[in-house]
Amino acid sequence: MNPPIHWEGKYISHAFSIAPPGCLIISLCDYNAFKEDKRRYNDNAQELIHDYGSLEHLGEGIRDSNRALRQEIGLVKLRKPGAGYETEFEGFFLFEEEERQENGILPYNLVRDLVNRYVKAIQIYDQQLEAGLRLEETIAGFFETKHAIRVQAVGYPSKRAEFKKDLQKSAWAFIFQKLDLEKIATKGLKEDIYKFIEHQAHIPFTMRNIYRMLQIVAGTTTQRMDKALLEVFDKITRHHAENRYGVEGWHTNSHYLVNKKFILPYLCKQDIRYARNTDAIEINYTGNWDFIEDLVKALCYISGDEYEKFGTLRSWISHPYKTITTDQVYFHTSRESFNGQLAREKQLYEAGIAFTTLNHQPIYGEWFEWAYFRVKAYKKGSMHFEFKDENIWVEFNKRIARLKGFPLYEPKKESSSPKGKKGVSKANY
């Protein structure tokens, strides 16, 4: 439909009321009116969209040359429930000849099993309601018991739609968890995932849509890591001593590249009220931690290392007991204490995995090593970082130069002095 402006709500509501079960209703609308929390018209179109469909932004509509009208166009899609399961879940499964990605991010059989469980859960929901209504009809007016399941059909379609959406949110969250995204999940990707789960749960949980999402995540890893590097670069260079942003700065930081040593503020704090040891580093959980974690994930992507090899800086600081293998770091809390570390070491020993142990709590003013850096924390809240590997540092700045379009700095060639002596070769930084 393309109903008249300001009347589309009534048209959509009426179309939904007369449509047969399983019907798909598609209508254009005023996007800004329908995206608001409270509709200015007396209809239930917004509730129908929330329960049975979606609202998509199509952009700006055609402008009338006689009027300065810029209408934002939306597309409403509603699926009326009540059809058979064959119609409702048509296209949820792929044909057997389309099987693929056996060695991909997620096995094909696992994806099929998840979709099958989703469909079965909705069928069981309907069966429960039907059985509950039969029970209510059987005992109502004749028996009184507190053990019977009381079920009412009031609001059933809406509740069923909410149940389906909750299942879809949970299912997508399970998929992203199984992707083991921690190693590639930058701050931007996490925000995109949470937004996707929260605001686009109407996307059917079909096998085809799952594979499409996995391909998008896998295919954009390079772009996301490059974006993370640029964000870290901008954050560090922003805190140059002569910055124009009015923020704290240091001469250690450069304004056009990331020096081998750099400083970031708002990472730790000192809270004597709760600290048992006043020298122990107190973490500022609202600080710049996401940038540091994103930096290490991007450096892992550049170098080919696994992120689990290092663990988070927050865990490294807050957990004094660490069991380290070539592939992963296991952190032990103070509650697990030394016994937890011994149990982990026993498991690794029995599995034939080589490991080392570290029982050390980093403190303020002391250098310690983590990931690609030497790190020192100060009570004013800042942390100093120094690249341990010069090659990693060079590769980082080379990648930034390529992304920013900066010219790469080349070392000066050796030249002869007037007396015939060779001059000193200096890097043109």
pLDDT in tens, 187-236: 666 666 666 656 555 566 788 777 777 777 777 778 878 888 888 888 88
Residues 121 and 210 in one domain: yes
Q: The tokens 């329960």 sit on which residue? A: 51
CA distances from 137 to 131, 149, 158 (A): 10, 12, 22
Report yes or no on 198 lying in a domain.
yes
Report yes or no on 69 lying in a domain.
yes
d(CA 311, CA 329): 6
Sign, CA dihedral 156-158-164-167, equals negative
Report yes or no on 420 lying in a domain.
no
- 405: tokens are 């379009």
Model pTM score = 0.58
Report yes or no on 56 lying in a domain.
yes
Residues 44 and 66 in one domain: yes
pLDDT at 147 over 90: no
178 or 206: whose pLDDT is higher? 206
The pLDDT confidence band at residue 368, using thresholds 50, 70 and 90, is very high
CA distances from 287 to 223, 291, 314 (A): 25, 9, 11
Weakest-pLDDT range from 39-48, 206-215, 352-361, 368-377: 39-48
pLDDT at 68 over 70: no
Residues 126 and 70 in one domain: no
End-of-domain residue from the set 199, 219, 239: 219
Cβ(80)–Cβ(52) under 8 Å?
A: yes
* Length in residues, the chain: 429
Residues 262 and 396 in one domain: yes
d(CA 65, CA 49): 33
Report yes or no on 425 lying in a domain.
no
Q: The tokens 């450069």 sit on which residue? A: 254
The pLDDT confidence band at residue 102, using thresholds 50, 70 and 90, is very low
CB neighbours of 384 closer than 8 A, spacing ≥ 6?
252, 261, 262, 263, 375, 376, 377, 378
CA angle 33, 38, 42 (to 5 degrees): 80
d(CA 35, CA 29): 10
> SS3 breakdown of the chain: % helix, strand, coil, rounded to 5?
45, 15, 40
> What mean pLDDT do residues 336-357 have?
82
> What mean pLDDT do residues 135-162 have?
71
Report yes or no on 346 lying in a domain.
no
Sign, CA dihedral 350-356-360-363, equals negative
pLDDT at 426 over 80: no
The pLDDT confidence band at residue 424, using thresholds 50, 70 and 90, is very low
Nearest to 370 by CA among 301, 311, 306, 297: 311
Residues 110 and 73 in one domain: no
Sign, CA dihedral 105-107-112-115, equals negative
Residues 212 and 231 in one domain: no
78 or 416: whose pLDDT is higher? 78
CB neighbours of 271 closer than 8 A, spacing ≥ 6?
282
Expressed as residue numbers, the domain containing 108 is 96-219
Q: The tokens 């020096």 sit on which residue? A: 259
Residues 239 and 377 in one domain: yes
What residue type is 229 in one-letter code? L
Phi, psi for 125 (deg, rounded to 5): -60, -45
Report yes or no on 393 lying in a domain.
yes
The pLDDT confidence band at residue 148, using thresholds 50, 70 and 90, is low
Number of structural domains (the chain) is: 3
d(CA 268, CA 382): 7
End-of-domain residue from the set 192, 219, 246: 219
